Amino acid sequence: MSAATFHVRFTDRRSAIGLAAFAAALVALACAPWWAGRDDLYLLEQIFAYVALASLWNLLAGYAGLVSVGQQAYVGLGAYLLFGLTIFADVPPLWAIPLAGLIGALAAIPVAALVFRLRGHYFAIGTWVVAEVFRLLASQVAALGGGSGTSLPASIVIAIAPSRTMREFVVYWIALALAVAILGLILLLLRSRYGLALTAIRDNELAARSNGVDVARVKFVVYVFTACGTAMVGALIFLQKLRISPDAAFSVNDWTAFVIFITVIGGIGRLEGPIVGTIVFFALRQALADLGALYLLMLGAVAIVVMLWAPKGIWGVIVERLDWQIFPLQRRVVFAPPADNIARSKT
Amino acid sequence: MEWTNTIVQGVLTGGLYAMFAAGLSLIFGVMRLVNIAHGDFIVLAAYLALVVTETLGIGPLPSLLIVVPLMAAIGYALQRGLLNRTLGDDLLPPLLVTFGLSIIIQNGLLELFTADSRRLQAGALEVATWQVTPGLSIGLLPLLQFVAAVAVIGGLQELFYRTAFGRAFRATSDDPAVAQLMGLDNRHVFALAMALSLAVVGLAGVLLAVRANFDPAIGPARLIFGFEAVIIGGLGNLWGTLAGGIALGVAQAIGAKLDPGWQLLAGHLTFLAVLGARPEGLFPRIRG
């Protein structure tokens, strides 16, 4: 009798079709500089940034149960690191992005040690206080314009690529690559042992703990990983904007409220949710942009309605009704010995 | 003497922070709900007072007679109609729904009143001072705020431990299922707690609006001050919350004295220092 009388399979026909469609969409998006105009490229870059931010927040809140409302701390930190590293340390702008991620992760370690002392809702507001501290510290940096902020010097902008068109293409591809890399890493993380632990924590923290999951450790790893990714996205967003100020870089509405609404509307606790939510968010924004403050008011109302009447979000409803999945995440136990095992047991 | 003045001002501001905190602490204690829109409700109360004083031509203090009951009614309706649906084991729904409310209130006020800074006019009361000693004078208005804060905290304490109301709150807080078995209607108890919380918010909002400029965007910072006062003072201890508010107010006043840019930072750093050194707060709850 061979040891493996069953094995665990991730992929099936549905996820194979889903992944193929996803790959085709990626190829089309990678070619966007040849078929899309300047405004479309800028819009797509923003969409990629929000997909990345929402996926990271989804990992943090949807899987690890760490409902943070202070992720703007890392967006702003990444943005300020981009400006600081390129202006004062002559780091090439494209290298500043991974470096910002690394420093963001390092900064998250002491922050985690503090805010992990707070539970549940108080954890949420604690992370917000940390973000406020980061914002106030950033406005004390006189060399980067203090409270009013500064622009990225032309010499550094030119270092990305000499011509404006090429620069836009490069930033676009980096935005796409970063979003895909973050999605890919989250997928790998969720398929690893950590993923099993995270799914267990998502479903029932107490049960996970009693089954031997080191909950505190898993949460810490996820918090630091998320900080790293969020700081990189922050650096990228402000590489597009080329101008920084503490209020813009540490905005709770832009980098946390919208991200939470996107994740909840799309479907929290599922990898596809943030992608669906971002598409809905931008579609609403394009349609209702003229309404100004009323648009945000409606967004808040939609998020409340979804949370109360469809808490699994749009993708959750799709999964329940149609049983689709794009990303091969669902584990299926197959109770037949793999083909090579049969062959071996016959000899 | 200059420093004494700074500290006295800090203590008086701290009273206001303790009032922000009391409403927050109350509903967390009773139903484990943190209202992210708490600060925005403070601002909403300030705008209500603005409308009331302007339409009726009365002063800010008489306007309390309308604003406080109105806020309590809003609180009761909000809890019955919306927030009771969010309560449960999952902490995301209450957080997200109150976050949504925060965005709705902010942008609704922005749409109605624009982003301009406003202030309630209190006439002679605004400038009246009490000369304690030469060099140290206390504004009557800040003093009134502080006395109001102490009265609110003392009143809540009495209500919690001496009345049937308070017994219902504590019973529901300890075990909602058993409280329900004993004949309490939890939905009603929670709604009363929210009404009480927003009544305190109404008072705090009007007092804030007389003392400082306000605009639709200042809510979240008030939420944070209230939250910091709760944690510094220790969860579940109302007098501790007053001490926490005072500690925060004094820290901010000292920070501002050293460098105007350090006012808020000094408060936040004091909070983080307490969290690092004594995560249970300075005066943790004494059961009894």
Would residue A2 count as lying in a domain?
no
Report the range out of A109-118, B195-204, B234-243 with the highest average pLDDT: B195-204
Mean pLDDT of A72-91: 95
Angle, in degrees to the nearest 10, between helices A120-138 and B263-277: 140
Which of A136, A268, A296 is facing B107, going by the closest CB pair? A296
**Which chain B residues are Cβ-neighbours of A128 within 8 angstroms?**
220, 224
Alpha-carbon gap, residue B71 to B197, rounded angstroms: 9
CATH code where residue B176 lies: 1.10.3470
Alpha-carbon gap, residue B118 to B45, rounded angstroms: 13
Burial A285-309 (b: 16+ CB within 10 A, else e): eeeeeeeebebbbbbbebbbebbee
Would residue A1 count as lying in a domain?
no
Look at chain B and report how many structural domains it folds into.
Answer: 1
Amino acid at B160: F
Alpha-carbon gap, residue A99 to A105, rounded angstroms: 10
Q: Which chain A residue shows the shortest CA-CA distance from B81?
A: A308
For the segment B20-61, what is each residue's pLDDT rounded down to a tens digit?
A: 999 998 888 888 888 999 999 999 999 999 999 999 999 899
Would residue B107 count as lying in a domain?
yes
Look at chain A and report how many structural domains it folds into.
Answer: 1
For the segment B97-116, what is each residue's pLDDT rounded down to a tens digit?
A: 999 999 999 999 999 999 89
pLDDT at A230: 97
**pLDDT over 50 at B287, yes or no:** no
For the segment B66-95, what is each residue's pLDDT rounded down to a tens digit?
A: 999 999 999 999 999 999 999 887 888 998
Would residue B284 count as lying in a domain?
no
**Interface probe with B: pick from A116, A136, A298, most Cβ of B within 10 Å:** A136
**pLDDT over 80 at B215, yes or no:** yes
- How close B267 comes to chain A (CA, Å)? 10
- φ/ψ of B133, rounded to 5, equals -135, 165
Are residues A300 and B101, on separate chains, in Cβ contact within 8 Å? yes
Would residue A3 count as lying in a domain?
no
Mean pLDDT in chain B? 90
Are residues A122 and B227, on separate chains, in Cβ contact within 8 Å? yes
For the segment B243-279, what is each residue's pLDDT rounded down to a tens digit?
A: 999 999 999 999 999 998 899 999 999 999 998 888 7
Percent of chain A surpassing pLDDT 90: 48
**pLDDT over 50 at A346, yes or no:** no
DSSP state of B236: T
Under 8 Å CB pairs connecting chains A and B tally to 119
A57 touches chain B (CB under 8 A): no
**Which chain B residues are Cβ-neighbours of A114 within 8 angstroms?**
272, 275-276
Mean pLDDT of A4-23: 75
- φ/ψ of A333, rounded to 5, equals -90, 125
Would residue A347 count as lying in a domain?
no
A140 touches chain B (CB under 8 A): yes
Are residues A125 and B272, on separate chains, in Cβ contact within 8 Å? no
Mean pLDDT of A89-106: 94
A120 touches chain B (CB under 8 A): yes
Query: Whose CA is closest to A225, among A119, A130, A108, A134?
Result: A108
For the segment A40-80, what is each residue's pLDDT rounded down to a tens digit?
A: 899 999 999 999 999 999 999 988 889 999 999 999 999 99
Print the domain residue range for B245. Answer: 2-118+137-277
Are residues B220 and A252, on separate chains, in Cβ contact within 8 Å? yes
For the segment B150-176, what is each residue's pLDDT rounded down to a tens digit?
A: 999 999 989 988 988 888 888 888 888
Are residues A137 and B265, on separate chains, in Cβ contact within 8 Å? yes
Would residue A234 count as lying in a domain?
yes
| Both tokens assigned to A301 | 């109302």
CATH code where residue A99 lies: 1.10.3470
Alpha-carbon gap, residue B232 to B63, rounded angstroms: 32
Would residue B131 count as lying in a domain?
no
Print the domain residue range for A75. Answer: 8-342
Which of A61, A125, A300 is facing B227, going by the closest CB pair? A125
The pLDDT-based confidence of A276 (bands split at 50, 70, 90) is: very high
- How close B34 comes to chain A (CA, Å)? 6
| Both tokens assigned to B35 | 């209202």
Which of B104, B106, B221 is facing A301, going by the closest CB pair? B104
Would residue B201 count as lying in a domain?
yes
Alpha-carbon gap, residue B82 to A322, rounded angstroms: 30
Alpha-carbon gap, residue B5 to B85, rounded angstroms: 48
Angle, in degrees to the nearest 10, between helices B38-56 and B219-233: 120
pLDDT at A343: 47
For the segment A202-218, what is each residue's pLDDT rounded down to a tens digit?
A: 888 888 888 888 888 89
Which of B91, B227, B279 is facing A67, going by the closest CB pair? B91
- How close B284 comes to chain A (CA, Å)? 14
Please report the ipTM that was assigned to this predicted complex.
0.89
Cα torsion angle, A313, A318, A320, A323, sign? negative
Query: Whose CA is closest to A281, among A265, A268, A257?
Result: A265
Are residues B265 and A301, on separate chains, in Cβ contact within 8 Å? no
Interfacial residues of B (vs A; Cβ cutoff 8 Å): 28, 32-34, 36, 82, 85-86, 91-97, 99-104, 106-108, 110-111, 220-221, 223-224, 227-228, 231, 261, 264-265, 268-269, 271-272, 275-276, 279
Mean pLDDT in chain A? 87
